[in-house]
Amino acid sequence: MKRLLALTLPLLLLPAPAFAQEAVPAALDRALGTLEATNGGSLSLSLQLLLVMGLLTILPSLILMMTSFTRILVVLAILRQAMGLQQSPPNQVLIGLSLFLSLFVMAPTLDAVNARAIAPYSDGDIPAETAIANAGEEFHAFMLRQTRETDLMMFADIADAPKFESRKAVPFSILLPAFVTSELKTAFQIGFMLFLPFLVIDLVVSSVLMSLGMMMMSPMIVSLPFKLLLFVMVDGWALLMGSLAQSFV
């Protein structure tokens, strides 16, 4: 039983690529090699398992902050607030829309990661370190395209980093906060433009109600149908989704 458990644990620790699966005999050979390279194997495997579980707790947050998800979700939340809708669409719908639109936007980057990292690693052509480095380069290039120069310079000055030879030399420790800052700034700029037409409707409705002496009626209740009508007439969802997707080009 102990021998079977020792052979099974390394198989659970091997990465499972999303686009290609490793053959069972090759995985077994690699597991045997791992066992032979460790003394006893128990302590090493326990530490590896602990490390993997710790990384899995922060991996979703890192991936979400390194993609287009943040900008899209913030814009959709601002749109709901501008229209005066409290829980419609609900948070689950907004997160789902943001996730699938992010997959659409990130499709070229994910394809490049698959071609340079996942597929070669699954075929055994490159080691895990090279696969991780290649995948990081693709995400690094995407984040650089969306990051403002001023934000990069600000965080580089805060970190007292030396002058970089090129933008590709910017480390992730500086690029990540600069990218998130740029994404939030862009999202708020888009949200401001979304707020303007709905704000005009609120002002007009409030002025009309005031002139009619209907001060006890809430302008939000009266203006909400007009906001929905305007948004539907201009095909707002298609315009918004298309504009968000094109903002990353």
- Same-domain check for residues 2 and 82: no
- Same-domain check for residues 136 and 205: yes
Residue that is last in its domain, among 64, 96, 111: 64
Give the confidence band of 180 by pLDDT, cuts at 50, 70, 90. Answer: very high
Give the confidence band of 44 by pLDDT, cuts at 50, 70, 90. Answer: low
> What is d(CA 246, CA 190) in angstroms, rounded to the nearest whole number?
13
User: Which of 51, 42, 67 lies closest to 15, judged by CA?
Assistant: 51
Residue 4 has pLDDT above 70, yes or no: no
- Same-domain check for residues 76 and 56: no
| DSSP assignment string, 80-144 | HHHTT-SSSS-HHHHHHHHHHHHHHHTHHHHHHHIIIIIHHHHTTSS-HHHHHHHHHHHHHHHHH
Provide mean pLDDT across the span 167-176: 86
Total domain count, the chain: 2
Residue that is last in its domain, among 21, 43, 64: 64
Give the confidence band of 182 by pLDDT, cuts at 50, 70, 90. Answer: very high
- Same-domain check for residues 91 and 141: yes
Residue 215 has pLDDT above 60, yes or no: yes
In tens, the pLDDT along 121-159 reads 888 888 878 888 888 888 889 999 999 989 988 998 898
The radius of gyration of the chain's CA atoms, rounded to the nearest angstrom, is: 25
pTM of the model: 0.74
Domain boundaries, position 34: 1-64
Residue that is last in its domain, among 17, 47, 64: 64
Say if residues 83 and 224 touch (Cβ distance below 8 Å): yes
Give the 3-state secondary structure percentages of the chain, helix then strand then coil, rounded to 5.
80, 0, 20
> What is d(CA 176, CA 152) in angstroms, rounded to the nearest whole number?
9
- Same-domain check for residues 97 and 209: yes
Residue 43 has pLDDT above 50, yes or no: no
In tens, the pLDDT along 71-108 reads 999 999 999 988 888 788 888 999 999 999 999 999 99
Residue 124: its pLDDT value, please? 82
User: Which of 26, 53, 12 lies closest to 4, judged by CA?
Assistant: 12
Please state, for a pLDDT cut of 70, what percent of the chain lies above it. 82
Residue 176 has pLDDT above 60, yes or no: yes
Residue 192 has pLDDT above 70, yes or no: yes
- Same-domain check for residues 203 and 240: yes
Residue 101 to residues 68, 70, 87, 104, 240: CA-CA distances in angstroms? 8, 11, 21, 5, 11
Provide mean pLDDT across the span 168-173: 85
Give the confidence band of 206 by pLDDT, cuts at 50, 70, 90. Answer: confident
Say if residues 175 and 152 touch (Cβ distance below 8 Å): yes
Say if residues 135 and 33 touch (Cβ distance below 8 Å): no
- Same-domain check for residues 76 and 141: yes
- Same-domain check for residues 37 and 79: no
Who wins on pLDDT, 28 or 37? 37
Beta strands, E only, the chain: none
